[in-house]
Amino acid sequence: MTDDEDLIRALQAEHGDALFTHALRLCDGDRQRAEDLVQETLLRAWRHPEALDPERGSTRAWLFTTARRLAIDAWRRREARVGEVVTDSIPEPRPELSETDRAVEAWTIAEALDRLSPSHREVLIECFYRGRSVAEAAAVLGIPPGTVKSRTHYAVRALRLVLDEMGVTR
Amino acid sequence: MRSQPPGPPASPGPYAPGPCPYELDDGAYILGALSPAERAEYERHLATCPPCRDAIAQLAVLPGLLGRLDPQTAQRSVTAPPTLLPRVLAAVRAQRAAARRRRLLTTVAGVVAAVALALVVGIGVKLALPAGPAPLTYRPMSVGDNTVRVDAEIGIQEQSSGTMVSVRCLYHDQSDHTWQILLIVYPREEEAESIGSWVATGGQPVEVSAITRYSPDQIDRIELQTRNHTTIAWWSP
Ligand SMILES: [Zn+2]
């Protein structure tokens, strides 16, 4: 085993599940493309280990951002190929452009969620995306309602900070 | 850890500093998770509590942003498939082998130039080559044409992407005569390729390594030839 492989193993052990989940979101649930995306992201990390210097920010944030950039590149390449299709009809304005922008927005929010701690992400998923009340979320998560409230209080602040860092808000 | 900034001095009244009893409700409120009764109560409180109103103003942008991700995608959480790590490691090894091959080819080109230069100026050379993955065993090559008397040995090492061929030879001719030697690989199915060349002179040992893209079992024969393609030594697996 080499240092290179140790780096990949360590990244996979610590961030593998989160990165694959993130990649799956970026690939609209396509597991094959998600695996390709994780592989390309980890290879980038291997080729540029200096990017993972803790002083330059969180490793997970770097991995997620890199995966998102690669996914956006791939999306734009696919879109360009679609755009190259020759037709006899007069070209129409391409509605996919705004679709891409919407996808990128969604990916950005997904990335922000993935950067949160699991307990913060969990209460946001339960209370916002699953539409559960504080009492319902408390029952599902097996914690007191007061804890659900305090977690959402801190989770929305953490989310706000991450979105600021990512340049979405501020 | 962030420490709380010191607050203003305590004063009585409805805006008394210190923990507001509703302080922790803002997250649940903007996410829409308070029960209707709690929500009404919280909104009545907001009307009287500027710090809570400020907090809500800071967070108001979030529901709209969260809403750009569809719930189904947001809830997707999985574990990475067990095949993923081996796959990435294989890709790393392949890329590392490619990088090493590029470095080695550069080295071999330099080595060949150095041998040529050393032989031209009449200095004996012993070449240190980059260490391979396994110890190299040399086997004697058969002598081809006896116009050039050469003792040659060959070592074969399988690489992830081909074969490293190492040759060391000594020409017994004691004259100052020099020859240009070619190292030729004959694959079973395809055209022969020259993977190295150097200048040899009598009494001077030469050690050279080069890489071919063919794997050992694809190689039919390897030869040392003169420039006019006379075989002076050969080896077959
Ligand atoms: Zn308050």
Alpha-carbon distance A44 to A30, whole Å? 21
pLDDT at B97: 83
Which phi and psi (to 5°) does residue B178 adopt? -120, 150
Please name which of B157, B171, B140 lies closest in space to residue B216, comparing C-alpha atoms. B157
Alpha-carbon distance A88 to A107, whole Å? 35
Least confident of A116-125, A157-166, B105-114: B105-114
Q: Which residues of B are less than 8 Å from A2 in CB distance? A: 96
Would you say residue A89 has pLDDT above 70?
no
**B23/A contact by beta carbon, under 8 A:** yes
Domains detected in chain A: 3-80 (1.10.1740.10), 99-165 (1.10.10.10)
Looking at per-residue pLDDT, the higher value among A128 and B119 belongs to A128
Please name which of A88, A16, A6 lies closest in space to residue A49, comparing C-alpha atoms. A6
Would you say residue A41 has pLDDT above 50?
yes
Q: How confident is the model at residue A77 (pLDDT cuts 50, 70, 90)?
A: confident
Percent of chain B whose predicted confidence (pLDDT) is above 90 = 20
Cβ separation of A8 and B79 shorter than 8 Å? no
**B30/A contact by beta carbon, under 8 A:** yes
Strand B142-143 and strand B178-187: the pairing is unpaired
Reported ipTM: 0.76
pLDDT at B111: 59
Cβ separation of A106 and B35 shorter than 8 Å? no
Instruction: Using CB atoms within 10 Å of the CB of residue A43, give its burial: 0 to 12 exposed, 13 to 18 middle, 19+ buried.
Output: middle
pLDDT at B51: 94
At the fourth CATH level, the homologous superfamily of domain B23-73 is Anti-sigma factor, zinc-finger domain (1.10.10.1320)
Query: How far off is chain A from B90, nearest CA to CA, in Å?
Result: 10
CA atoms within 13 A on the CB side of B225: 18
- Please, what is the angle between helix A31-47 and helix A3-26, to 10°? 140
Alpha-carbon distance B152 to B234, whole Å? 9
**B81/A contact by beta carbon, under 8 A:** yes
Query: How far off is chain B from A20, nearest CA to CA, in Å?
Result: 5
Where exactly are the structural domains of chain B? 23-73, 79-124, 138-235
Query: How far off is chain B from A110, nearest CA to CA, in Å?
Result: 7
Report DSSP letters for B58-73, one per residue: HHTHHHHHHTTS-HHH
pLDDT digits (tens, 9 = 90+) for B64-111: 999 999 898 888 777 888 888 898 888 888 888 887 777 666 666 665
Both tokens of residue A31? 């597991």
Which chain A residue is nearest to residue B92, measuring alpha carbons? A43
**B63/A contact by beta carbon, under 8 A:** yes
What kind of fold does domain B138-235 have according to CATH? Answer: Immunoglobulin-like (2.60.40)
Please name which of A133, A168, A164 lies closest in space to residue A148, comparing C-alpha atoms. A133
